[in-house]
Amino acid sequence: MAPPQRILFPPEKIYMDWQQQWRAGAGLRNPGNLCFLNSVLQCLTYTPPLANYLLSREHSQSCHQRGFCVMCRMESHVNRVLRSSGSAIYPSAVISVLAREHFRLGMQEDAHEFLRYTVDAMQRACLSGISNLDISSESTTIVHQIFGGFLRSRGTFPQPLLSLELSVSFCLYFNMALYRAYTKALCSVSRCNKMVAASKRFTVHRAPKVLTVCLKRFEDFTGRKIDKIVKYSSCLDLRPYMTQTDGESLFYSLYAVLVHSGNGCHSGHYFCYTKASNGLWYEMNDSSVEDCDISTVLQQQAYLLFYVRDFLRGVVVIGLGGDGFKLKQGRFRLAVGKKVFTVRVARHWKRLPRAVVDAPSPTVSKARWDGALNNLT
């Protein structure tokens, strides 16, 4: 794609880590069949880069849209939820949006469809009042930079990506479903008896900062639920599914899981699990907010998975030791023999064991850092 002619939101102002620490916010009241809305809103509320932006109220302070604005409504909702810990509120700021669209109040709707609508509506709000933009420039909004990426298939131009949709019919593991959908397909050539690339399924051409995955649990024609446990982990490396598979790992950390219980897409109940800024997990079931542990989260019959880029996991820290050592933001490369280690900055400096930075060699330091990071996360 051509470079954007205009940058609508500076990428350096997108903060991936929580800028403030909050306790779990308010639960959301459900007057009837709005569990799909409540669960999606809670997952979005605990999306760190989006929450940081909305909590700053930067959008409403500069919004020139007359009348109704989805981003302004989301900003009001997130601020109200996170500042109302221990209570339950009615999500009136967002419910009024439904009356303007094809969602019908009082009717059970699909959570994934509502998520896609909400993200798309926020994107449109960011583009409101701006004309004559090229496609590349449209992808520089705060919303697209957080949730958006690009997919690519052989012989085609990159296509926008807002969520990965994976079939779970024949897969027991999340990585297996991801592999079937987003990797190269191989076939055997009988003349030389070798496996070669025959075609290419979609691959991730540009990775998003926040990765949303839908495990397709509803049959296309009947809407019947596919009750299958698909195992997923709290950490994901997206590199094997990229168009360019060589390079450093692209680690993501799980921060929310949305669950559907019931027999079909037009019935049942939605609830979710989210990781708050204090690092603790909570089950959010409409007005109820209860703490839980990660083992409970990983045992759910997930419908939607939310992952955020983890720039700290698996990095190498080469320290000099001593009181004079200071970590600075940025990244650099250090060649050691024939190997090149990527070195990034760790924000958990005070929590790291001194042995990590006082290691006698980069190789030893890497091993110690990996172990220390697992203990921290």
Q: Which residues are catalytic?
A: 35, 269
Place of tokens 């109704």: 68
Do the strands 302-309 and 251-261 form a parallel or antiparallel pair, or are they unpaired?
Answer: antiparallel
Question: Counting Cβ atoms within 10 Å, is residue 180 exposed (0-12), middle (13-18) or buried (19+)?
Answer: middle
Which ranges of the chain would DSSP assign to H, the alpha helix?
Answer: 35-45, 48-55, 58-62, 70-82, 92-98, 111-127, 135-138, 142-147, 174-181, 294-297, 354-357, 362-376
∠ Cα 364 365 371 (to 5°) = 95
Concatenating the DSSP letter of every residue in 195-225 gives EEEEEE--EEEE--SEEEEEEE-B-TTT-BB
Phi-psi category of residue 129: left, alpha or beta, with phi > 0 → left and psi -120 to 50 → alpha: left
Residue written as token pair 């939310």 = 306
Looking at the DSSP bridge assignments, the partners of residue 237 are 251
The two beta strands, 210-216 and 164-167, are parallel
What distance in Å separates the CA atoms of residue 54 and residue 154, rounded to the nearest whole number?
Answer: 38
